[in-house]
């Protein structure tokens, strides 16, 4: 195993390995002993510092999009301090105007797949066999359990949790938990929120807001937009930044270019 060091910034790439240097940028020095990194395609794969790329991972290769035109430039940008485990595949973008992006400090466990044009933020944990189709957006501090599938163009909000075996075909709003063969909202990601340092007061306010949106006492209150507006006019709850963020996350999901949010199912844990 070869290792060189400069300013304590190292990339580890574990065997079996091959890479095309003309199409790959890694800040020197880096440790090479594994995986398939890069492909002789127009464009570039860029990998930051202190990343670990596991055995037989496939990083920065051609996308699996039928709209891809051979000869088009395609890109993958990976930040710093990511742990990308064995048999994971991460594909480049489908066209030159797009990029597949992985942020910093993500744990991507074995056999995950991140397809073309996905945008992944920071500090996420993806358990084994987490599969993201093309154009999925994942914000920060999300957590997936194993064997989950996310449909193209879905948005996964910050501090959310996806239960094992779920098929996600619509957006997951911030701070929430979904699960099920067809993923449904099951409440707030309470354990995740506590672990991430949210205060008891913030969590209490989020529980109140969640109930007002999805379990209103007044059945005549109207649709979800009416409930969001009511929350915005609630001085007690709207004073919390997390509530404003929750409302915005839900509202954005109903934009005409988006897929709406996962359906709600009442669960005592909310």
**pLDDT tens by residue, 7-20:** 445 555 554 444 54
Question: Contact at 8 Å (CB) between 77 and 92?
Answer: no
Whether residue 119 sits in one domain with residue 47:
yes
pLDDT, average across residues 183-201: 97
Active site residue 117: yes
**Choice among 56, 116, 135, 155 that is catalytic:** 116
The verdict on 16 and 120 lying in the same domain is: yes
Assess whether 135 carries a catalytic annotation: no
Are residues 126 and 202 both part of a single domain? no
Q: Are residues 203 and 112 in the same domain?
A: no
Question: Looking at the predicted structure, is the pLDDT value of residue 29 above 50?
Answer: no
**Closest to 188 (Cα-Cα) out of 239, 154, 202, 155:** 202
pTM of the entire predicted model: 0.88
Do 121 and 205 lie in a common domain? no
Query: What does the alpha-carbon distance between residue 55 and residue 45 come to, in Å, rounded to a whole number?
Result: 18
Catalytic residue among 65, 77, 104, 117: 117
The domain tally of the chain equals 2
Same domain, 21 and 126: yes
Residue 162 lies in a domain: no
Q: Which residues contact 175 (CB under 8 A, 6 or more apart)?
A: 157, 158, 159, 160, 188, 189, 193, 206, 242, 245, 246
Task: Let me know if 260 is a catalytic residue.
Answer: no
Same domain for 132 and 29: yes
| Domain range enclosing 53 | 12-138
For the four alpha carbons of 116, 110, 82 and 259, in that order, the dihedral sign comes to positive
- For residues 178 and 24, the model is more confident at 178
**DSSP secondary structure letter of residue 261:** B
Output the pLDDT for position 14.
53
Least confident of 26-40, 64-78, 226-240: 26-40
Q: Which one from 54, 110, 134, 157 is the annotated catalytic residue?
A: 134
CATH number at residue 216: 1.20.1180.10
Q: Do 87 and 200 fall within a single domain?
A: no
- Residue 209 domain-assigned? yes
Check whether 60 has a pLDDT greater than 80: yes
Query: Does residue 6 have a pLDDT over 50?
Result: no
CATH of the domain at 122: 2.160.10.10
Looking at the structure, tell me whether residues 23 and 119 fall in a common domain: yes
pLDDT tens for each residue of 62-121: 999 999 999 999 999 999 999 999 999 999 999 999 999 999 999 999 999 999 999 999
Residue pair 10/49 in contact (Cβ under 8 Å)? The answer is yes
Whether residue 56 is predicted with pLDDT greater than 70 in this model: the reply is yes
Instruction: Evaluate whether residue 267 is within a structural domain.
Output: no
Which residue in the block uniquely carries the two structure tokens 């940028």? 25
């Amino acid at each position: 195993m070869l290792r060189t060091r400069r300013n304590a910034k190292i990339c580890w790439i574990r065997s079996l390995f091959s890479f095309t240097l003309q199409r790959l940028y890694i800040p020197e020095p880096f440790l090479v002993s594994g995986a398939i990194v890069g492909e002789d395609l127009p464009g570039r794969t860029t990998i930051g510092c202190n990343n670990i790329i596991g055995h037989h991972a496939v990083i920065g290769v051609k996308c699996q999009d039928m709209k891809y035109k051979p000869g088009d430039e395609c890109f993958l940008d990976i930040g710093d301090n990511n742990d990308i485990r064995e048999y994971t595949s991460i594909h480049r973008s489908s066209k030159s105007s797009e990029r597949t992006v992985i942020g910093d400090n993500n744990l991507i466990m074995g056999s995950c797949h991140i397809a073309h044009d996905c945008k992944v933020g920071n500090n996420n944990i993806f358990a084994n066999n987490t599969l993201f189709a093309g154009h999925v957006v994942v914000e920060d501090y999300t957590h997936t359990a194993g064997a989950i599938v996310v449909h193209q163009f879905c948005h996964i909000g910050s501090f959310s949790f996806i239960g094992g075996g779920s098929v996600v075909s619509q957006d997951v709003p911030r701070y929430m938990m979904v699960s099920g063969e067809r993923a449904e909202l099951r409440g707030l990601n309470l354990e995740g929120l506590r672990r991430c340092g949210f205060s008891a007061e913030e969590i209490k306010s989020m529980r109140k807001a969640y109930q007002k949106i999805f379990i209103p006492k007044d059945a005549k209150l109207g649709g979800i937009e009416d409930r969001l507006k009511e929350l915005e006019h609630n001085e007690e709850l709207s004073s919390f930044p997390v509530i404003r963020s929750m409302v915005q996350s839900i509202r954005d999901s109903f934009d005409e270019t988006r897929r709406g949010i996962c359906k709600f199912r009442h669960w005592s844990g909310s």
